[in-house]
Amino acid sequence: MKRGEIRVCIIRVGGTNCDAETKRSFEDLGVKASIYHVNEIFRKRELLAEHQILVFPGGFSYGDYVRAGAILAKTIMARIGAEIKAFIDEGKPILGICNGFQVLVEAGLLPGLNGISQYPEAALATNVPSGYRCMWVYLRHENSGKCAFTWLIPRGAVLRMPVAHAEGRFVLPKEKDLFNRLIGNDQIVFRYCCENGEPAEGRFPANPNGSFYDIAGICNPDGTIFGLMPHPERAYYYWQLPDWTRMKNPPRYGDGKLIFESIIKYVMKKF
């Protein structure tokens, strides 16, 4: 598949507020990206199959009532669950950014240890310390290359992106051995870290929300479904970097571009 033939479906609802930035990032790389209100997908279910990439962008879908991402997740799985499953079965990638990550977890698509789960296997809980966090953080890439969204990034590389959330603390049930399975399946993609790459070890502000094992992003066992709390679309261009005016020779792009470039090249190779 050629770059210009790739179509990206970006879902929005009331409260979504990062769809335009996400669309611009994809289009900067030469693919066709479209924003659809979820009701458009419900009315024309075959529309989803016409795309190669599905994205749930950041924001506060439906005001994050009940739990962050819960209402959108349950609505989607109830209305177009079969179409979502068919999309996954074809090996087409799904990305969830911030609120989108919360949606994927609430929908049972991540961690996805046994395929699509009827109930959430993990949670993105209220930040510790509590409060809304809008700040730049460092991320260490932990994946060996199976994740379709980060396979262009060397393992151990340190990236910088912003977070903007109040419920981003990744937690797992204590009574289940899910953590060892995540490690064994190479599903941990990003961990919060210090600038030099050393683990944050839960310490604020390097770990902005108290996430277990400093987890900032995970993928499913196949590496085709990826969710992360930081915002790559807000770290795409150099002028989005917080310190670019102090740089003598600022880069043309930020680290967020690597994620969009990875998934586009993955689709070009696979399809």
Give pLDDT tens digits for 217-267.
999 999 999 999 999 999 999 999 999 999 999 899 999 999 999 999 999
Give pLDDT tens digits for 101-154.
999 999 999 999 999 999 999 999 999 999 999 999 999 999 999 999 999 999
- Rounded to whole angstroms, the Cα distance separating 26 from 231 reads 14
Give pLDDT tens digits for 53-70.
999 999 999 999 999 999
- Rounded to whole angstroms, the Cα distance separating 2 from 4 reads 6
Q: Give the pLDDT of residue 89.
A: 97
Q: Between the CA of residue 163 and those of 60, 81, 141, 267, what are the distances in Å? A: 14, 29, 16, 27
Tokens standing for 57?
């962008």
Q: Which CATH number fits domain 3-270: 3.40.350.10, 3.40.50.2300, 3.40.50.300, 3.40.50.880?
A: 3.40.50.880
pLDDT band at 71, cuts 50/70/90?
very high
- Angle at alpha carbon of residue 195, lines to 194 and 197, rounded to 5°: 65
The residues spanned by each domain of the chain are 3-270
Please report where in the chains the tokens 């289940």 appear, as a residue.
176
- Rounded to whole angstroms, the Cα distance separating 77 from 82 reads 8
Neighbours of 271 (CB within 10 A): 12
pLDDT of residue 175 exceeding 70, the answer is: no
- Angle at alpha carbon of residue 158, lines to 154 and 160, rounded to 5°: 125
Give me the active site residues, please: 98, 231, 233
